[in-house]
A and B are shown apart, each in its own frame.
Chain A
Amino acid sequence: MRRSDLGEFEEVVLLAVAALSPKAYSVVIAEELERETGNTVSTGAVHAALQRLEQKGYVSSFLGEATAERGGRRKRLFTVSALGGKILQEVRAVRNRLWERIDSHLLLDWQ
């Protein structure tokens, strides 16, 4: 498995999809990320990231129902695929392992 496939932004978006499931689509993801990070996140960027994730097979999508605030247009809803879940876990495991190896004194210094 090529780990480098997952960019940082993609990783965050993938996590957001997982967190907001089953109602994850680009607008709520962008809003959510804005809220969490405090940075401006454009729908276009999220949309592009989702496209890439779908191409890589980490998420799957389907068209949801039409709503009035979208001018009667449908939204594309995303769910994390099994492969995506596995990747997320793997990323997390790598991080955890590294975290655990950090000297506790150092951790204290950061706080």
Chain B
Amino acid sequence: MKAKKSAQGPPRWMTRFIEWACAPHLREEVLGDLLERYILWVEQWGELKARRRYWREVLAYMRPSISKRQAEKYPTPATMEMLQNYVKIAWRNLLANKAFSIINILGLAIGLASFMLIAVFVYNELSYDKYPSDANHIYRVNISVIGNGDVAIYPNVDAAVGNGILNAFPEAKESTRLLPASDYVQYKNNQFKEAHLAFADSNFLQLFSIPLIEGYDRDALVAPNSIVLSKAFAIKYFGNEDPLGKSIAIGTNKTAYKVTGLFEKVPDNSHFHFDAFLSLSTHHSINPTWSNVGFYTYIKLTDKADPKKLEAKFPQLVAKYVVPEVQRDMGISLAEAQKSVDTFRFLLQPLTAIHLYSDTKYELEPNGDIQYVVIFLILALFILLLACVNFTNLSTAQAAKRSREVGVRKVMGSVKKQLIIQFLTESVLLTSFAMICAYLLVFLLLPFFNQLANRQIGFSFFLNYQAILTVFLVSFLSGILAGIYPAFFLSSFSIIKTLKGSLFTKSPQNKPLHSSLIVFQFSISTVLLIATIVVYKQLYYMQNKKLGYDKDQVIALPDTRLLGTNQLAFKEQLLQDSRVIAASNSRYFPGGEMMDGTQIHPKNETSNGVEIHANIFHIDYDYLRTLGIPIIQGRNFSKDFPSDSISGVLINESAVRELGWTGLNPIGRSVVKSGQQEFKVIGVTKDFNYVSVKQKVAPLMMVLGRNFGGIVLKIKTTDVNGFLGDLKKQWDSFNPNGPLEYSFLDDKFATFYASEQRVQTLFSVFALLAVVIASLGLFALSAFVIEQRKKEIGIRKVMGASVPGIVQLLIQDFVKLVLISIVIATPLAWYAMNRWLQGFAYRIDIEWWMFTLAGLLAIGIALLTVSFQSIKAALMNPVSSLRSE
């Protein structure tokens, strides 16, 4: 009857709660009391009220005297004492198995060191542009221009845009502009060409929180012709003199700029690094325009402003300012010009995202890439994991040796928890040693790494408490990670079996685990090997791709404008030299910085109203010959046709394609350049890569004239240095305004691939590390396994087995595992590398031999590691292994 009445029973979760909260030794009586009373209440008042009171009843039990756990009946030794014992045993174990300990520590140290280095690299990448005090509210104004299905993003805008936004929208608090420049700088007898100059608005330095160490921040860049120098720059020109207030000459016409301030330097983690800032007010224009590009413009928004919402309002500005300009410049109807509201978009890019997420063609400096940051982070973790795997593998392999110890400890009263802690102590101790070694490694490798990754990171970075704490935490965690499986595995042995010694008679080790861990290690190593091969091939391909012109022994002189009117004479004189094959007056050359561009469209074509963006090279008659650019249709510019210099144009194959002339004869057709200027196509050149091979060859038009200011030389000599010496002499004989600047085209091109080069080197290093760690593990494991099978080998030999037979027997297990790894690694690597290659316009195909090569390498390495041990074991005299027993 009673049972029926309380069918529902007291609220179960309350009961469970009190069961949890109550100390174990009080549980029985407390729960009993509660239930008994509950049943009494049910009889008295019924279920509902009883349940309600049950609540209060349970709460009444919430007191310390109930929840306080009873002390253990048999007190354990103080934790510290036990820990001391663990450390002592761990230490003895390390000493007892020196080879294993060294392999473990070495592997972990390499893992930790690479983790530290990569972590600092990643930290550094992520810290870019966070130094301004309001970094989170600063945005760069980008433009995206949609044309012909393509979206071109420019990181810079026209002069009027910044102020325009500021005036139109209250969300914008401040705006500033930057105009990079490169020019000659002279003070007294010191004259150099400086590549890192920039004109900046007067509020630029404050907005970016770049403090002046001398001079007054607010005034420094206000007056026209003012200049603010970095400390290093000042020392370069002024030495010990105080530069403040002095004049410095800039440009070929030696305009005087007054030094109004000094700053320490632009922080390393900035997306620009200028040596000097010049006042932008020098270039004051009365009517700044909206529709061009060139000024890097930064806007500071108010704290509450939403950049997305603000961005959505920008088309108003386009309609108001850009459209009339387009209409005027292009001479088109208003309706036609209205289109630009859709195609011309101002965008806001957070300052802190520029370094990792912006990859336009016109960045101030090559940026980082979030992809690589992620890839390297993953790599670091994997390498650390590989090292942890070694530990796991080796310590479970040694289980047989430790099993007696476990048995004895259990007999003496050790419980499982204590054994787990003991083994974890061991692995953590090991990782602590590894951590110390890792610090040592980092200290040794840092200069190398800095060079590799193009950073300036001091060792002191690793010595601040956050870094030490992080490294310590990571070491500790990897210690736990490495030790957790062996700890549970070892502590789970049953006492009787371990003491009888019957635990491992059948299987001396945990085979499936070891096998899968080895497969894991070798899969990662193989993926890295494949990646290294693919990256290397792609890089090799880019550097050696036929560029469509001859870049060997071509010298570009970008600044012959210093010669003034003597440029032609200089060129003629150079041509007298037998070593000079050809020379051309032009500042435009492949890989150079000069680039002019415009929108063009075919004239009088009813079929399509295509308008494409074309780059422009201003050249002379000798240009194509100097660079060896072949003409595939029509003819080169010729003095026989005087009209060439007014309206003749050479275009490349891309331009033909994009203008929609594929299959048609382009010769004699006309294109119209933005200002309604007409050009008649007289020839088509083969596509040549005038920018990095990473990008597709874009449409190009080459026109005569406006080409002075630079010279391109094709030479043929075995004594390049001798020629350069003569070149300098001839240069000086013209009394130019500045020193000779020159660059070789092939060098210039090599710099395009600097970041890929870095990736390649880093990949190879990591692949190497992964392979080293994996083979260290394999080496130790095979040594151990062979040691275990010593007797078997002895018996086999006695029974007549041959040495090669035994070696094969020992090796084949491991080789099988490596083969499985290759099978696993191949699709992974194929997928990853295919994605990587998508980023290149001209790319290699991933071919089967790359996988084969990587696979052979992996097998070779595995064989090398295992066979030494195996051969040693197979050659051993069976007597020595069978004698004892």
Contacts and interface: CB of A to CB of B under 8 A. Distances in A.
B612 interface: no
B57 A42 contact: yes
Sorting the interface of chain B by its residue count into under 10, 10 to 19, 20 to 34 or 35 or more gives: 20 to 34
Interface stretch (A3-11, A15-23, A72-80, A100-108): A72-80
Where chain B touches its partner, the secondary structure class is helix
Given A27-B40, A73-B29, A74-B28, A47 B66 contact: yes
A43 B65 contact: no
B60 A27 contact: no
Contact of A27 (B36, B56, B61): B36
Contacts of B34: 43
Interface string A63-101: 100011111011110000000000000000000000000
Contacts of A70: 32-33, 35-36
Interface string B16-50: 00000000000011111111110110000000000
A26 B548 CA distance: 99
Contacts of A51: 65
B63 interface: yes
Q: Which of B29, B57, B63 has the most chain A CB atoms closer than 10 A to its own CB?
A: B29
Interface in A50-70: 51-52, 63, 67-70
Contacts, number: 66
Contacts of B60: 42-45
A30 B38 CA distance: 12
B2 interface: yes
Contacts of B36: 27, 67, 69-70, 75
Contact of A74 (B29, B37, B58): B29
Nearest to B44: A31
A41 B280 CA distance: 86
A75 B33 contact: yes
Nearest to B58: A44
Nearest to A76: B29
Contacts of A42: 56-57, 60
B32 A43 contact: no
Contacts of B59: 44
Nearest to B62: A44
B66 A73 contact: no
A90 B488 CA distance: 61
Nearest to A74: B28
Interface in B51-92: 56-63, 65-66
B65 A48 contact: yes
Contacts of B63: 44, 48
A31 B41 CA distance: 10
A26 B33 contact: yes
16 contacts: A31-B40, A42-B56, A44-B58, A44-B62, A47-B29, A51-B65, A52-B65, A67-B36, A69-B2, A69-B36, A73-B32, A74-B32, A75-B32, A75-B33, A75-B36, A76-B29
Interface of B: 2, 28-37, 39-40, 56-63, 65-66
Report the 9 A-B pairs with minimum CB-CB distance, sorted nearest first. Answer: A44-B60, A73-B32, A70-B32, A42-B60, A44-B61, A76-B29, A70-B36, A43-B33, A71-B35
Interface of A: 25-27, 30-31, 42-45, 47-48, 51-52, 63, 67-71, 73-76
